[in-house]
């Protein structure tokens, strides 16, 4: 069953990728206008070869870092190699490339490409979205460990991380999933890329952050001193996709290469609280109790989803206010009704086009209907996420030793450095070497 699920997830990812890439080869989506004058259609300007070259280089660097981090995490089991990869990624993708293009923001490009027939997504952007997910599907969250510049920056400041209770971790973990849903909703409706708009680190990478974003990024890094990777764990929408893929990963990092001696050193060292204790240290309940709880949760799931779906579809007009055309319509109506005498650049530009108000209202009504449907779907998704979070908190797995949680573990390799069994393995390797 697990292998079949993995195959289905992998196939779905490929379908999404190829659906997005299918627009790349499209040319002349709309018929060219026929001019009655002697006007000649200008020749298409080709992209700069240098820009194409850099996109190829960026993609190659991404692939190399993913391969190296996977090798260091699963084969070599060395924290040093992972750290070097993350430091290089911070310098290259962070400060050199100024945080763009990033896999986190590519979520919005994919969503827009799937729901709009006028947007053409670059191939390398689609690859930046798909490759880390594919690697997580097979090797765990190696992208978070040594490739993501956001994670690398937070990893550097994680000096004295505290361990949060698991119920707090799971509760706060709901917010990235909701952020993921909202980013897809706003990108698909053409309202904007909220991930990029509220990115706390890109301004730091570009040395051009606004005061508000500088403060936001600084606060997150300050929190990261005591609560490791707060953005990765409680904000990052792309991390949600990596968690889902990592949960089904074919291979994943292990704490010890041998039988666990339950020394607890790994649990005390893990900065993100991803180490799960063996079953004897937990309150093991009867199987019947756990099954009964799961049955109840899945029985109420449709009602919770229906309730959240109805709620968000009812307040869909609130989300729609972020759409530029909805804002324009509100401004034009205020001007026509003499509610305001101040015009805006957008309203002046609209009146210059000569488009009638009825046309604008019809277009806005269509956008509002899209938001009504999209917000309802987001509500259904929200209800599902809430119930799954409760299920995850309430289910107790049987473990004979300390194990990494496949979803929460970012494959940073810190547990390697403290495991006594790992030290014995390395010592034997040096002796035979």
Tens of pLDDT, residue by residue over 8-64, are: 444 444 444 444 333 333 333 334 444 444 445 444 444 444 557 889 999 999 999
The low-confidence residues of the chain, meaning pLDDT below 70, are 1-51, 280-287, 433
Q: What is the pLDDT of residues 327-348, one digit of tens each?
A: 999 999 999 999 998 999 999 9
Predicted pLDDT at 18: 41
The count of C-alpha atoms lying within 13 angstroms of the C-alpha of 160, restricted to the half-sphere facing its C-beta, is 1
The 3-state DSSP class for residue 404 equals strand
Q: Which of 29, 199, 182, 184 is nearest to 114 (CA)?
A: 184
DSSP result, 95-147: IITTT-S-TTTHHHHHHHHHH-SS----HHHHHHHHHHHHHHHHH-SHHHHHT
**Alpha-carbon torsion (111, 182, 243, 396), positive or negative:** negative
Question: 276 pairs with which residues across the strands?
Answer: 403
Task: Tell me how many degrees the CA angle 183-187-190 measures, rounded to the nearest 5.
Answer: 145
What's the pTM value of the predicted model, to 2 decimals?
0.85
Q: Which residues contact 303 (CB under 8 A, 6 or more apart)?
A: none
Predicted pLDDT at 416: 92
**Alpha-carbon torsion (138, 143, 146, 152), positive or negative:** negative
Burial 254-279 (b: 16+ CB within 10 A, else e): bbbeeebeeeebbbebbbbbbbbeee
A 10 A CB-CB count for 132 gives 26
% pLDDT > 90, the chain: 66
Are the C-beta atoms of 207 and 99 separated by less than 8 Å? Answer: no
Are the C-beta atoms of 330 and 323 separated by less than 8 Å? Answer: no
Predicted pLDDT at 9: 42
The residue count of the chain comes to: 433
H/E element, 275: strand 275-276
Dihedrals φ, ψ of 343, to 5°?
Answer: -95, 165
Give the span between the Cα atoms of 200 and 221, in whole angstroms.
Answer: 10
Q: Write out the E strands in 25-121.
A: none
Q: What is the pLDDT of residues 261-310, one digit of tens each?
A: 999 999 999 999 999 988 765 555 666 777 888 889 989 999 999 999 99
Are the C-beta atoms of 148 and 356 separated by less than 8 Å? Answer: no
Predicted pLDDT at 51: 59
Dihedrals φ, ψ of 319, to 5°?
Answer: -65, -35
């Amino acid at each position: 069953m697990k292998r079949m699920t993995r195959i289905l997830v992998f196939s779905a990812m490929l379908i999404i990728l190829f659906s997005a890439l299918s627009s790349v080869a499209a040319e002349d989506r709309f018929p060219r206008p026929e001019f009655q004058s002697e006007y000649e259609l200008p020749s298409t300007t080709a992209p700069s070869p240098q820009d194409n070259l850099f996109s190829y280089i960026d993609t190659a660097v991404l692939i190399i870092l993913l391969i190296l981090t996977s090798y260091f995490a699963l084969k070599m089991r060395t924290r040093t190699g992972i750290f070097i990869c993350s430091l290089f990624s911070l310098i290259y993708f962070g400060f050199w490339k100024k945080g763009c293009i990033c896999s986190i923001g590519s979520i919005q490009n994919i969503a827009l490409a799937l729901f709009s027939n006028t947007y053409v997504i670059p191939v390398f952007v689609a690859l930046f979205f798909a490759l880390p997910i594919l690697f997580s599907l097979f090797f765990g969250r190696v992208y978070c460990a040594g490739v993501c510049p956001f994670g690398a920056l937070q990893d550097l400041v994680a000096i004295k991380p505290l361990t949060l209770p698991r119920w707090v971790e799971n509760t706060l973990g709901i917010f990235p999933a909701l952020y993921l849903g909202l980013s897809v909703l706003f990108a698909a409706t053409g309202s904007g890329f909220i991930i990029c708009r509220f990115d706390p680190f890109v301004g730091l990478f570009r040395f051009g952050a606004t005061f508000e974003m500088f403060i936001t990024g600084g606060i997150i890094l300050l929190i990261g001193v005591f609560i490791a990777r707060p953005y990765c764990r409680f904000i990052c929408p792309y991390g949600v996709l990596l968690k889902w893929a990592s949960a089904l990963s074919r291979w994943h990092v292990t704490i010890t290469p041998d039988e666990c001696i339950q020394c607890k050193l790994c649990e005390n060292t893990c900065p993100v609280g991803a180490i799960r204790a063996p079953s004897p240290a937990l309150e093991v309940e009867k199987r019947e109790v756990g099954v009964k709880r799961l049955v109840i949760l899945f029985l109420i799931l449709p009602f919770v989803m229906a309730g959240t779906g109805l709620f968000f579809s009812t307040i869909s007009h609130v989300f729609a206010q972020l759409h530029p055309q909805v804002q324009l319509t509100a401004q034009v109506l205020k001007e026509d009704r003499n509610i305001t005498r101040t015009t805006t650049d957008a309203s002046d530009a609209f009146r210059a086009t000569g488009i009638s108000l009825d046309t604008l209202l019809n277009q806005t009504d269509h956008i509002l209907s899209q938001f009504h449907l999209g917000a309802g779907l987001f509500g259904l998704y929200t209800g599902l996420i809430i119930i799954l979070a409760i299920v995850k908190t309430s289910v107790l797995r049987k473990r004979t030793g300390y194990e990494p949680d496949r979803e929460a573990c970012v494959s940073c390799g810190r547990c390697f450095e403290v495991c006594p069994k790992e030290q014995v393995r390395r010592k034997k390797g040096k002796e035979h070497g």
